[in-house]
Structure 1
């Protein structure tokens, strides 16, 4: 039976068991309450939540709300929007400003600026009791608007950002023999907080995200790919224990011994779906001697040469780079360029350069190709996320948070700055199975990539697929809720387009909707072309299309029915609803109305 048919059979069984949306049960919440509607909490009720959270309830408004009266302040605000740390520190903003014809970044009505699990539990209880839309903002990086919902109550744990390195961690209910080096990370921490504590200060490594301002719990719950995933696996597979507030307001521990079903669901089952994670404990690893990177670009003189370059690169990647040492990406751009932006671990600079020699030697043999000598740099692994080190070594490679009083370790990779406030027109992704690198699959893949690249830029993210990883990495990832197809995928292909910040009310922000739709259509057409090579491949839930078809199958495959049962156990009323999250088929797109 084909995988799609198997999933349909499984979903059919779930439906017969009452697992998928059907007639609402007696007492079931049918709609969430909006401000001004009957049932919206009274001023006295909100004051009660204020007391229950020790004064941490905030009434929110867009920072652009006063722009008409204060143009100077808004001009300064527009500059601050370029800083992802500023965005993360503002409860009314999200790192993506919206998605055309999908959603816009609008603030919640209120936010609980949580400092402890009790604050989160109070917010959850309040939302459940008053039938409110509830959302969670960690790092605020959700492309699909998961940390954004107007007229809602926001749980905002930014201040819960403690990071504690542990020499020998034993999960609750476990035995001393299970003790492993680990790190405990609060719900509001970003990956720069984790890397600074674990790598720069303690000399260990924790598998996390490539972008330093991404929130820790959200990335782990989405599966979690970092730059070095082919060596250390997914962030989800590193999870040892989580503290989580579930829909009943209870603070629970989830690990392999306690609430193991919930623990499994948190390892890739999607953020904002099963509760509010308040703390995560992740395994740490010994550091290699070096982390490093390389950059370069090869340009073809004509279409035939470009097609040959793509095929040659794929074979080169298969034979030389599809292993635990290499990660990150290449881009097929402008119809004839191959842009290289890769990282490596466990190699010194000479070894990394030698690995690429066959490709550049081949390119030198033909006048059809031009390039400058690629750049290679290996650095002590402990210094990789040390902004002070980069200030002295490669100024500008990391850009510091420029705000007065900002923590010294707050810095972002220069290449990630463009994500701050990004407004998406179109975004498509698909995993590419490793079998396409073998036999006639390689020629078909090269043709598909060539055809797609004539329509739009195609990115191949090799660290977001585990094909080529060691056996122990594959085994750990197999024990997560992430789509099983990631085990056989050598890369995640991403085709996307967008524009500068376009928050509602932002002066000077203009959305050319006709142009945006035309660009999105080209993105979709390019991905449709590529998908013909691997029509049934899945996609990474955290980086995918807002309008994704068959999303249950695409994101989780055969794991979806099990995830749905866990969702129904811990959140039977759907308090936690995000776009294309487990169980969201029961709700309207905005999460306010249950489908009959």
Structure 2
């Protein structure tokens, strides 16, 4: 919605230090070249009551929204939504504008409930250059309007969703290039590298890399931004066991810090900020406009293991035990992938086909004995694997989903007793099982201690284990709290299994009780010092980010309180 409609902008509950006038917003719009917009909820065209006003539903637009409600590519192309729709709502007050994810044409969703703004930022800037970000920081500093930073809308924590904020939408920073001899600013060594704008999704990055006969190590979802929260939070890949996390491979960032400066951060220039950005998380140290990442200077052949079978309660537990028994060996061999209770998908860049078949023989035997299907085969490149296996298996979109996770260290897999305890814990919570991601940098050999700010627990972990639970469009606030409490309890059970480990901050329990240590280990005090250096006024804040102001701050107003 263009700025001319600002007079119709929806009311928001945040109290600003200085309430901006229409003239203030118009001045900001002029400063950013007319790219300040108002945002109304994604599904508002289906409703007859929008933020307390009676309106006529726009049926043609509503039909389009219903058709694409679960389409990640469609959602990522627009500002006013998230892949997990609870972050469009204000959960603490149950203000939302949601359709029924299981049947988007179910009219009960828009006849029984009104459409309310929820946590969608009512104003946003379509960021096209770093000066837009500087203007946003100046505006926030002058008015007290909070800021939120959104890329593609993949966010399990709601950190890019702040009620009443001015949104900074980086999705259209789409520049991408390859340099076979990239030299970081201030450095003297060269590297094969790709420079990727903040808005470039992984699918586009993979297409570009393949066209240049190089391999970039990245995420599994096609629409996740390659230079956004994925990277800033650590960035795991099923190639990470051999090639490291995203933060192990990044060479340079360009960003605007909250003090208004456009900066380069690398090992030579602003090295403290560079370290903080390598795992300290998005939404707090600044707004990244691009990153430059080391690539492998060739297409890498991969061995692929893909198996599935129709699991029962008993066979799923037996298969889980088999996974636990073999996972340490697989980690040492370089396998990375996703393990389920009814199968797996894994890749290996180190073994040849015969070795891969031998490594997976016990899985082959198990799956065949249960009338399942499977293959161990060679593909010529990561991109070939991505097209064949990943694009056809994307996660559910347009749902309300919460998760919890834990990094499970190698020590758990070295003991039969510990493995049994792990299997029992997971089996007892089987309805909440999401996935076992073998994406840890277990045999990555180019890591220097303390070179990144992620929790050191990543380095010895074999599994990144995840639970999940869902709720529906008409679930009450109490019902949502019950889901989060269940996941809190599951987090505690996993912590009992691995008390000295940690969690991946991008895919963790929203209410992780020991979040500073779980996400960053002993790195948090240093991260906080960097935060205070580059954001002395605390302009950027988000839920359980470095420097978080706490649950009573207005930025956190839409997170329901747990008992």
Give the TM-score normalised by the residue count of structure 2: 0.83
Q: Confirm or deny that 1:57 pairs with 2:36.
A: yes
Cα distance change of structure 1 residues 259 and 441 upon mapping to structure 2, 3 Å threshold: farther
Q: Which SS does the other structure have where 2:505 is aligned?
A: coil
Structure 2 counterpart of 1:415 = 393
Structure 2 counterpart of 1:185 = 196
Matches within 5 A, 1:150-169: 150-169=163-182
CA deviations on 1:296-341 (whole Å, 9 max, x unpaired) are 23577775x765544333222223x113531122123xxxxx4223
Q: Confirm or deny that 1:315 pairs with 2:287.
A: no
Cα distance change of structure 1 residues 134 and 293 upon mapping to structure 2, 3 Å threshold: same
Q: CA deviation at 1:523?
A: 4.3
Structure 2 counterpart of 1:272 = 283
> What stretches of structure 2 of length at least 5 have no aligned partner?
1-11, 49-56, 97-117, 558-563
Q: Confirm or deny that 1:429 pairs with 2:430.
A: no
Q: CA deviation at 1:110?
A: 1.2
CA contact (8 A) 1:292 1:379 kept: yes
Cα distance change of structure 1 residues 310 and 174 upon mapping to structure 2, 3 Å threshold: same
CA contact (8 A) 1:230 1:324 kept: no
Structure 1 counterpart of 2:532 = 568
Q: Confirm or deny that 1:326 pairs with 2:339.
A: no
Greater Cα shift, 435-444 or 488-497: 435-444
Matches within 5 A, 1:136-215: 136-175=149-188, 178-198=189-209, 200-215=210-225
Structure 2 counterpart of 1:452 = 428
CA contact (8 A) 2:216 2:294 kept: yes
Q: 2:362 aligns with which of 352, 358, 362?
A: 358
Structure 2 counterpart of 1:470 = 444
CA contact (8 A) 2:484 2:511 kept: no
Cα distance change of structure 1 residues 524 and 580 upon mapping to structure 2, 3 Å threshold: closer
Greater Cα shift, 39-48 or 483-492: 39-48
CA contact (8 A) 2:516 2:524 kept: yes
CA contact (8 A) 1:242 1:253 kept: yes
Counterpart Cα distance in 2 of 1:292 and 1:429? 28
Q: Which SS does the other structure have where 1:584 is aligned?
A: coil
Q: Which SS does the other structure have where 2:357 is aligned?
A: helix
Q: CA deviation at 1:363?
A: 7.2
Q: CA deviation at 1:66?
A: 3.2
Q: CA deviation at 1:357?
A: 0.9
CA contact (8 A) 2:305 2:360 kept: no
Counterpart Cα distance in 2 of 1:313 and 1:417? 22
Matches within 5 A, 1:182-581: 182-198=193-209, 200-216=210-226, 217-287=228-298, 289-297=300-308, 303=314, 309-319=319-329, 321-323=330-332, 325-332=334-341, 338-347=342-351, 349-361=353-365, 370-381=370-381, 383-384=383-384, 387=387, 390=388, 413-418=391-396, 420-424=397-401, 426-454=402-430, 456-457=432-433, 459-463=435-439, 465-467=440-442, 469-472=443-446, 475-476=447-448, 478-499=450-471, 509-511=473-475, 520-581=484-545
Q: Which SS does the other structure have where 2:25 is aligned?
A: helix
Cα distance change of structure 1 residues 42 and 512 upon mapping to structure 2, 3 Å threshold: closer
Counterpart Cα distance in 2 of 1:386 and 1:545? 28
CA contact (8 A) 1:207 1:229 kept: yes
Cα distance change of structure 1 residues 455 and 214 upon mapping to structure 2, 3 Å threshold: closer
Give the TM-score normalised by the residue count of structure 1: 0.79
> What stretches of structure 1 of length at least 5 have no aligned partner?
1-32, 333-337, 391-396, 399-412, 501-508
Q: 1:123 aligns with which of 131, 136, 139?
A: 136
CA contact (8 A) 2:17 2:143 kept: no
Q: CA deviation at 1:529?
A: 3.2
RCO higher in structure (CA 8 A, sep ≥6): 1
Q: Which SS does the other structure have where 2:544 is aligned?
A: coil
Cα distance change of structure 1 residues 345 and 243 upon mapping to structure 2, 3 Å threshold: same
Q: CA deviation at 1:227?
A: 1.7
Cα distance change of structure 1 residues 307 and 214 upon mapping to structure 2, 3 Å threshold: closer
Counterpart Cα distance in 2 of 1:293 and 1:327? 10
Q: CA deviation at 1:150?
A: 2.1
Structure 2 counterpart of 1:505 = none
Q: Which SS does the other structure have where 2:470 is aligned?
A: strand
Cα distance change of structure 1 residues 380 and 571 upon mapping to structure 2, 3 Å threshold: same
CA deviations on 1:267-308 (whole Å, 9 max, x unpaired) are 0001011010111111111345423533323577775x7655
CA deviations on 1:213-246 (whole Å, 9 max, x unpaired) are 1112211100000121101101011111111101
Q: CA deviation at 1:442?
A: 4.1
CA contact (8 A) 2:186 2:268 kept: yes
Cα distance change of structure 1 residues 85 and 37 upon mapping to structure 2, 3 Å threshold: same
Counterpart Cα distance in 2 of 1:34 and 1:573? 22
